[in-house]
Amino acid sequence: MSEKKYLSLDSSILYRCNQKYFDKRLAKYEIGYTQLILLAQIYENEGISMNELAVSGVFDKGTITKAIQKLEQLGYVKIVASEVDKRFKSLYTTEKSQEFMPELYRIRSEWNAYLSEGLSSEDMDAYYLAMNKFIEKAREYSKIEFDKENIDVKFYGLQKLTLLDFPGNMATTIFTGGCNFRCPFCHNRSLVFLNENDQEISSQDVIDYLSSRSKVLDGVCITGGEPLLHKDIANFIRRVKDLGLKVKLDTNGTSPEMLISLVEEGLIDYVAVDIKNCKEKYALTVGLENYDISEVEKTVAYLLEGHVDYEFRTTVVKEFHEVEDIVNIGKWIKGANAYYLQNFEDHGTCICQGLQAVSKETLYEMRDAVREYVKKVDVRGVRD
């Protein structure tokens, strides 16, 4: 077979030549081929979202994010958050970019004219007809096959039905393995210190189960371990959302960039962040000497801005928490929507043994002491 019969090679040659041409012609505007494509899409569809941009051009979200950030820095686009749901952001061109858009279209038309020189209208019609069919098949493959790629998220537990973990929703709870904290009172020791004998549940098995129950379930609670340690967690959640299910995420707040990315893509419906203790005692409480809490502070600050429904919660342990500590947490998360105090329970599976819960009276005292800082405060894990 001759070289010209290889469609992928021909497409690659055309792409690289396109890129060289536009990068050179657009240099004075400090943008390249990819930015041109996105800028034209935004100009022709004012208010389009980043997710819609990604779908229209089969771009990965990382490429879209970087390109839009550059266009925003150059003053060519503006990002506007929805007044109804701040997770969703619309893209608009600015006066600066609108002024030179006719020039960009002229540059594009010149290139198209050069490439099609000597071709008849019948030739062009045949080309577009064939290309549209190629693109349709490529998109079909991208959606069906690429979505089935192995997702590297390690699950080590699945609770088929819960009415508690995702308030107001009938949900399944799934447990990821691995954590970057070593909280002495953690009751999921097996999820922190994984060993080769632990039985892993594949991401595809989880998806298959959720698919079979999608008409019964309202949502999924993803907990751990620490779910955001898994680089493929976004791909997994996209698969879950494709099933029409809501997603609640439990996290320790140490991966703010990942959390923000998930929220802004519309993948998360509810976030629960464990606030381990007041800032002064954080390192002691998470079992890591000299731990820097700056990432947790970023997560707290982001959630307080109201981008997504959320709650903060603290597991109260007699050896680690006093009323003053809870008050200091309240000052830290002042203005939060909801804060829950859950009393420690020893199930014999904690990282450290011999820890105790506080008395019911002390837990209520902590609750009352923090109420002036948080809109809603309640207790969990108290037995009458």
264-320 confidence digits (pLDDT tens)? 989 999 999 999 999 999 999 999 999 999 999 999 999 999 999 999 999 999 999
> pLDDT: is 158 or 10 the higher one?
158
Q: What is the separation of C-alpha 204 from the centre of its chain, rounded to a whole number of angstroms?
A: 19
Spatial separation of the C-alpha atoms in residues 90 and 145, rounded to whole Å: 29
Distance (Å, rounded) from C-alpha 75 to C-alpha 141? 36
> What domains lie within the chain, and their CATH numbers?
3-115 (1.10.10.10), 149-380 (3.20.20.70)
Mean pLDDT (whole number) for 221-234: 94
pLDDT tens column, 30-89 = 998 888 999 999 999 999 987 788 777 767 667 788 888 899 999 999 998 766 555 567
Worst-scoring range by mean pLDDT, 10-14, 90-94, 301-305? 10-14
For every residue of 11-27, DSSP letters joined together read: HHHHHHHHHHHHHHHTG
d(CA 195, CA 200): 10
Measured CA angle at 265 (ends 90, 275), to 5 deg: 120
Position 340 scores a pLDDT of: 97
How high is the pLDDT of residue 82? 65
pLDDT band at 15 (very low <50, low <70, confident <90, very high): confident
Instruction: Characterize the bridge pairing of strands 219-223 and 171-176.
Output: parallel
DSSP state of 374: -
pLDDT number for residue 208: 93
Residue 91 has pLDDT above 70, yes or no: yes
Report, as an integer, the average pLDDT of 191-216. Answer: 87
Tens of pLDDT, residue by residue over 338-381, are 999 999 998 888 888 899 999 999 999 999 999 999 989 999 87
Residue 233, judged by CB atoms within 10 A of its CB (0-12, 13-18, 19+), counts as buried
Do the beta carbons of residue 282 and residue 329 sit within 8 Å? no
The bridge status of strand 309-316 relative to strand 339-343 is parallel
Q: Give all strands of the β-sheet with 77-81 in edge-to-edge order.
A: 48-49, 89-93, 77-81
Rg (CA), the chain: 26
Confidence class of residue 9 from pLDDT cuts 50, 70 and 90?
confident
Number of C-beta neighbours around residue 356 at 10 A: 12
* pLDDT of res. 1: 40
- Tens digit of each residue's pLDDT (9 = 90 or more) over 102-115: 999 999 999 999 99
Q: Which two tokens stand for residue 65?
A: 């994010």
For 146-155, letters b (16+ CB in 10 Å) and e give eeeeebebbb
* Separation of alpha carbons 361 and 9, rounded Å: 73
% of residues, the chain, pLDDT over 70: 92
Q: Please, how many CA atoms are within 13 Å of residue 282, restricted to the half-sphere of its CB?
A: 20
- The HSE-up count of residue 208 (CA atoms within 13 Å, CB side) is 6
Q: What is the reported pLDDT for 315?
A: 96
The pLDDT, as a whole number, for residue 163 is 92
Assess contact for 316 and 357: CB atoms under 8 A.
yes
CA distance 362 to 380: 13
pLDDT for 260 equals 95
